[in-house]
Structure 1
């Protein structure tokens, strides 16, 4: 053991040996001294280097000698799943040391909450949102008075968003109870540790322990082929080489598609946020037990969940960001003093070059800056309401002192005044005489808004062919894009909307139609401006061997560029924008990254639309903006719009155009809900968007909607830099026909697996589904025999085993009550009509056998419709097409019957 072990209690040092630690890690050696000295500390280190113990060993040492009741240390994680994992790890230490530990989050039982209220544990593991709730109860507030430590795990996951901004104020609210408690932050690699430290401490002195990740990383970049089949085979080969592999993908669509390709192996499973908690835990446990050789996952596995030893990490497609690559590859090894081995399997030319740039920067220990969420007015509204509930009444001056102690709101004094006035309009607080008092509505508002995560309903998508729920869509996507006849993509397939009813979207597979990508799975991980620029420079210099070591991958890149040369196509780069024309519009090739291209593309589209009087559609990725244009708008017009775009005017142009967009309207509703201006559970269908826009125009609510869109979705500053470079001539602009690079914006999305929903696949699905549908067979002759089976098991020749008759009705399971009617001797007029329909049903089966049973098993198909299907004389696949047509018609029309 090193010097750090001398700073912790002897009992803990002995337990380290019992736990199997012969030495402390470099991270622990460097982090334990400042934490033991009582300094606020930010520890930045790779995954698996013992960050949790770095914080908790000195904390435990202190707690052994800390008397009194109440919570003594609070350990905050961004996810409930991490709560469970941390509890498992720290329970052992606490039980050995005679300390108590508990978990509290949204799923904690009432009995456990009551127990904690009466006898709080020494160490409480919780989430940022549940910390907010601790301030609301009188007994719980008393238990906060003995807090000596607050540890924030995975702090990089919080510092850049509104959850983090809310947490930063909560830490300031804790001071009046606990005094100057010690703050400890645990983080993955970030480019600006100083800003993250200020987020943790509110600009109080903070010691930063920064352990570089690069020395313990080995990253290989390889081209995996141009088809999904070849790519999945490359993944499988890489899995075979190791005993345990995490395969990271960027979207849930890709996770499911890749999982489908490899599922037959039996030792591969999928893990992502749309799966239930139980399913995720089962996959984690199976991986940990060695029953799985690989786990295909999204960002759900980036954080430090303990799932056992990981030999190797595969990144399928570019990781898009250096920080993401470091976090993911860092999962490999996950033991002290081991190398982390990772492989990026690139899926195309852009992907390969971008991956090479990111891997090179990662190995040079570079990382993106993390931008704090500053002056978010809806967070202010939330925390002003929380403080009002906590104190009942408080002076505005004291309110400002508490809030501006946070680095996220240190200069928000004037904004606080505006937010207070806005909240008073909605009767959340009463400001009077320099004081702010809560209202009766305030507590209810707070209970509905403990979290700054926008509450968004999930709308189920129901496939009428397979008769199952195939996924969910965010309510915002439904509001903006879904209507009868609309086509969209989910689960890697195209779907066409039949009808919206019963709170769900009923769909059927679509063919050869363009579709929107649902927002929950189409949220692109944005490629930063700097990465896109360097990738553009690599296109220009072609020094591929400086970024790639695999010979086959270098050859692919060189042959791709040779193909561009052979076609006479100019290569878009960091200093050349190429406008390529095609049948439906123009691809503007610009290496600006997602956010800059989003801002630049939207601004140019506004100018084009204003000049032509026609609407202009845009699609954006990190290297191109695709404009869908009317015939009269040419590439020359796009060039003029780009060259005449004043850098200083971009934000103004975007602000005006955004007001008319569905994106802004929906963001306005979200912010208004967080302000209490709209009830949290209000149904969007009953909200007048136009009225809201008039009501909130030029208020802090609309200002916040703009602030969030400009900070999260667009980079106006970098877009302006591109426009400035165009005007100065540093970046050239030329026009050319569509090329291999430009066509990427038309024909593919790097994260979208080509949908396999051919006509044959649809027919196969409906055939399989009907064969497995339950059916009731009932003899209309003796009226005694009844049999429940599935359609696939029904014989071609259907005979009653009791009386030998062939007059057999085929009923759906929910029509079982009709059998009781058929057996009755004295029937009413309505019951006689039911009997006649059953006889009609049996006659169809008598004449057409199993074909009739198959038709009658379909949804909404009765005797008349079944007769119509059979009368078409359709055979094979055509027969099932007729069934699908009948089901579709039923779905569309039955609500009018």
Structure 2
């Protein structure tokens, strides 16, 4: 029987209304096992109907279920996806007579109460809000009815602590609902069996439907030029060839830089996670309407938010990972019958080789494995606390039984009692024999830790010279590194710490510095070991045409390699490591990928420091390690070390070495907060790192710090493999003068292109948004004339066409309903207060003209704020920064008013 015929007449009739003439391959293959009740992992390209594949048979079952309660829960990793899924599923539910609701952090109290009293059949939520469902007594009553849980974009969760937390939450849900059907949806997964196990937990059979993405994609690589000007021109040519395109960048700063250069076109906008929700939604809507031709975006648009038809995806620079490329290019076409077109614009030699390799691997559907987290101890602590808030008390045996049904915790061994003892030490729980009992602090802790995403307070950097704030640093970085006299780089400039005062870092520009410089690249996407090694192989074989390089790309790569041949400089490959001197130290060209190179660099650094007694600075990339060294340490010393390191001791060396690094301190503070051992709002200036390290020695907090470092940041086994290859002479190590490839490590601006200012994209977006806002002009002289118009259409200064006066108030559109009160002769005290506010508004416009109107059009900006903004800064980007600051303050505080 065909998939369509399995569905009930009601569903089939609704399909016809929705103009589903035929089901996609994805739907044909996925609907039968879901209809049959199987736990299913569905892997299929974006736009092939995964949501309907899951929901049509689920809807079919919901129509037959009786009783009240949540019958199906749809989980997405992002609130924006919640919004998108709700808009898509509302239609189906309405047609079928089912109810649907969305619940996340922004859901109103009214809607929450409504869901508690009358739960929808289908609840769309996030992993964090699912945690909250177990806390509310009334909400828990609706959980026994759950028969289906659908996890969208499961690859986004499976490799994170959010996912580890979710996997235990599903087992807690099973305590109420019994066995329910689990459905996971993903565009790309390299290890489907393991991700399916993550979805279903231990001892549950599952089905996998895997529709390869590669046959649905056409991906090309093009060299964009070796300077930013030529790269921007190439981007423009690509945009102009398409009626709609997504332009993906890897970091916010690159997006801002490109946005600044392209805004003048009028058909390009920027979309990234640092922009406000309103600005992001506005950009999505404008793209969907066709008002703009291209959207510059980071990973904020990787997931399947519906923004209409996309002709082509343009990737600026290497996407770093195969799975990321497939996910991003899959956004193009976004229809069942189309091929997705993508172009990578390579920005340098490394970038070009890597892009060719990733494209070739994508065509073979060789996605990276999702790194499922096993035994995360802070997640364990979090979920033990959750169980106790839920039940009041629970035995260790029962807690362990629930937890060990989750795939990532199936062999937790003695971890549960050890974590419980740690929690008891911090008064989160009490232990009485085998029984765990909650404390008052347990509930407080849990409410503050529904999410496993680390809380990061931003610390301002204040320049003593210019008397301006120049940026911010993450609190955890400040804890681990910053002290009086320390130096660091922010926005490409070197600063030295003068003082730490009142929660701010007081700095002055520094011109030179000795010792280690911290490298802080939170946005950087790590290049996997396998991709880096194959990139090295491509350098060695020089088979660019076989990898699909175009004529221009191949000529550029050949020029680089030929120039090195002419200089008798060896090329670093998968079988050759080169050590090259430069003024401040040595560049080690090695194709190990970020994590293996990170581990190897730290081992070499600590051994050099121990041997020579001098500090060693390191900067790590996928294809090179830059060592900043005192003059007595040379390349020969590093080569000698490579042959003397015992590969079996690398992890042990790292464990000893890491204790004294900023990286370890940063991570242990994060994890201690998630354990409830440190107050999440603790002032970093009052935390004694040395005391913390002593306190947590040998504890689960220290163990989890090491576990996370060795899985998410460093690859000790990859580093050991690189060393074994060298020592077996499978890989040669050569000392050479600085080559073109080594020099790229000193000068490369890939992904760190400095924009003209730190937030040009945001400021430009605010400026355009306000110009497009509606404003209500009202004459406070004759009080007869009013006009609703866009800010952009207002002449300076505004004037009443009836009486000629310039005493014109600039009001929010909703203030129209207050005008009758101002026109009255006899007024109440409240009406006189409104009149006074309007007059103040009009006087500001009278004295400052259009600038006042722009300020008054902003969200939450009234006459007082507008006066302050204009007095502080009347024009330019700083004027809009002040407006944005006022809007942010309003957004953060208006709920308390």
Same-fold call, TM > 0.5?
yes
Match of 1:79 in 2: 78
- Name the CA shift for 1:473/1:273 in 2 (closer, same or farther; >3 Å): farther
Match of 1:380 in 2: 380
**CA distance, structure 1, for counterparts of residue 679 and residue 304 of structure 2:** 36
Match of 1:713 in 2: 713
Could you tell me whether the CA contact under 8 Å between 1:247 and 1:315 is conserved in 2? yes
Match of 1:283 in 2: 283
More off after superposition, 390-399 vs 689-698? 390-399
After superposition, what is the alpha-carbon deviation per residue over 1:543-579, rounded to whole angstroms, capped at 9, x for unaligned? Answer: 1111134111111111111011111101111011111
- Name the CA shift for 1:252/1:499 in 2 (closer, same or farther; >3 Å): farther
How far 1:17 moved relative to its partner? 2.1
- Name the CA shift for 1:110/1:754 in 2 (closer, same or farther; >3 Å): closer
* Secondary structure, counterpart of 1:742 in structure 2: helix
Could you tell me whether the CA contact under 8 Å between 1:671 and 1:701 is conserved in 2? yes
Could you tell me whether the CA contact under 8 Å between 2:68 and 2:119 is conserved in 1? yes
- Name the CA shift for 1:467/1:69 in 2 (closer, same or farther; >3 Å): farther
Q: 1:70-219 residue pairs with structure 2 within 5 A?
A: 70-203=69-202, 204-219=204-219
**CA distance, structure 2, for counterparts of residue 291 and residue 467 of structure 1:** 41
Could you tell me whether the CA contact under 8 Å between 2:254 and 2:755 is conserved in 1? no
**CA distance, structure 2, for counterparts of residue 250 and residue 484 of structure 1:** 33
Q: 1:125-524 residue pairs with structure 2 within 5 A?
A: 125-203=124-202, 204-460=204-460, 472-482=472-482, 503-504=503-504, 519=520, 522-524=522-524
- Normalised by the length of structure 2, the TM-score is 0.82
Q: Which runs of 5+ in 1 are unaligned?
A: 762-792, 794-856, 861-897
How far 1:476 moved relative to its partner? 2.1
**CA distance, structure 2, for counterparts of residue 97 and residue 322 of structure 1:** 40
- Name the CA shift for 1:257/1:697 in 2 (closer, same or farther; >3 Å): same
After superposition, what is the alpha-carbon deviation per residue over 1:707-761, rounded to whole angstroms, capped at 9, x for unaligned? Answer: 1011100000110011111111111111011111111222224211156689xx9
Match of 2:828 in 1: none
Could you tell me whether the CA contact under 8 Å between 2:218 and 2:341 is conserved in 1? yes
**CA distance, structure 1, for counterparts of residue 531 and residue 199 of structure 2:** 28
**CA distance, structure 2, for counterparts of residue 350 and residue 136 of structure 1:** 51
**CA distance, structure 1, for counterparts of residue 690 and residue 459 of structure 2:** 23
* Secondary structure, counterpart of 1:365 in structure 2: coil
How far 1:414 moved relative to its partner? 1.2
Q: CA RMSD in A?
A: 2.5
Q: 1:615-626 residue pairs with structure 2 within 5 A?
A: 615-626=615-626
How far 1:495 moved relative to its partner? 7.0
Q: 1:812-827 residue pairs with structure 2 within 5 A?
A: none
Q: Which runs of 5+ in 2 are unaligned?
A: 761-795, 797-868, 873-897
**CA distance, structure 1, for counterparts of residue 228 and residue 646 of structure 2:** 42
Could you tell me whether the CA contact under 8 Å between 1:152 and 1:185 is conserved in 2? yes
**CA distance, structure 2, for counterparts of residue 546 and residue 357 of structure 1:** 10
How far 1:496 moved relative to its partner? 7.3
- Name the CA shift for 1:756/1:567 in 2 (closer, same or farther; >3 Å): farther
Could you tell me whether the CA contact under 8 Å between 2:147 and 2:177 is conserved in 1? yes
- Name the CA shift for 1:38/1:360 in 2 (closer, same or farther; >3 Å): same
Could you tell me whether the CA contact under 8 Å between 1:190 and 1:370 is conserved in 2? yes
**CA distance, structure 2, for counterparts of residue 499 and residue 414 of structure 1:** 45
State which structure, 1 or 2, has the greater radius of gyration over its C-alpha atoms: 1
**CA distance, structure 2, for counterparts of residue 683 and residue 533 of structure 1:** 44
How far 1:490 moved relative to its partner? 5.3
* Secondary structure, counterpart of 1:743 in structure 2: helix
- Name the CA shift for 1:180/1:567 in 2 (closer, same or farther; >3 Å): same
Match of 2:775 in 1: none
Could you tell me whether the CA contact under 8 Å between 2:479 and 2:665 is conserved in 1? no
Could you tell me whether the CA contact under 8 Å between 1:404 and 1:413 is conserved in 2? no
* Secondary structure, counterpart of 2:355 in structure 1: helix
Match of 1:685 in 2: 685
Could you tell me whether the CA contact under 8 Å between 1:474 and 1:518 is conserved in 2? no
More off after superposition, 455-464 vs 140-149? 455-464
* Secondary structure, counterpart of 1:368 in structure 2: coil
**CA distance, structure 2, for counterparts of residue 264 and residue 465 of structure 1:** 34
Q: 1:13-32 residue pairs with structure 2 within 5 A?
A: 13-32=12-31
How far 1:270 moved relative to its partner? 0.8
- Name the CA shift for 1:756/1:118 in 2 (closer, same or farther; >3 Å): closer
How far 1:510 moved relative to its partner? 8.3
- Name the CA shift for 1:171/1:695 in 2 (closer, same or farther; >3 Å): same
**CA distance, structure 2, for counterparts of residue 511 and residue 726 of structure 1:** 38
After superposition, what is the alpha-carbon deviation per residue over 1:279-298, rounded to whole angstroms, capped at 9, x for unaligned? Answer: 11111111111111111111
How far 1:420 moved relative to its partner? 1.0
**CA distance, structure 2, for counterparts of residue 602 and residue 224 of structure 1:** 34
Could you tell me whether the CA contact under 8 Å between 2:257 and 2:755 is conserved in 1? no
**CA distance, structure 2, for counterparts of residue 540 and residue 719 of structure 1:** 21
* Secondary structure, counterpart of 2:142 in structure 1: helix
* 1:552 matched to 2:552: yes
**CA distance, structure 1, for counterparts of residue 344 and residue 621 of structure 2:** 20
* Secondary structure, counterpart of 1:455 in structure 2: coil
* Secondary structure, counterpart of 1:587 in structure 2: strand
Match of 1:48 in 2: 47
* Secondary structure, counterpart of 2:105 in structure 1: coil
* Secondary structure, counterpart of 2:366 in structure 1: coil
Match of 1:35 in 2: 34
**CA distance, structure 1, for counterparts of residue 509 and residue 247 of structure 2:** 29
Could you tell me whether the CA contact under 8 Å between 1:494 and 1:757 is conserved in 2? no
- Name the CA shift for 1:512/1:260 in 2 (closer, same or farther; >3 Å): farther
How far 1:189 moved relative to its partner? 1.1
**CA distance, structure 2, for counterparts of residue 576 and residue 351 of structure 1:** 19
**CA distance, structure 2, for counterparts of residue 143 and residue 505 of structure 1:** 50
How far 1:320 moved relative to its partner? 0.4
How far 1:171 moved relative to its partner? 0.4
Q: 1:403-802 residue pairs with structure 2 within 5 A?
A: 403-460=403-460, 472-482=472-482, 503-504=503-504, 519=520, 522-754=522-754
How far 1:310 moved relative to its partner? 0.6
Match of 1:63 in 2: 62
Could you tell me whether the CA contact under 8 Å between 2:257 and 2:756 is conserved in 1? no
**CA distance, structure 2, for counterparts of residue 595 and residue 3 of structure 1:** 47
How far 1:522 moved relative to its partner? 4.1
Alignment length (residue pairs): 763
- Name the CA shift for 1:103/1:466 in 2 (closer, same or farther; >3 Å): farther
More off after superposition, 475-484 vs 738-747? 475-484
**CA distance, structure 1, for counterparts of residue 334 and residue 637 of structure 2:** 55
Could you tell me whether the CA contact under 8 Å between 1:251 and 1:522 is conserved in 2? no
- Name the CA shift for 1:336/1:505 in 2 (closer, same or farther; >3 Å): farther
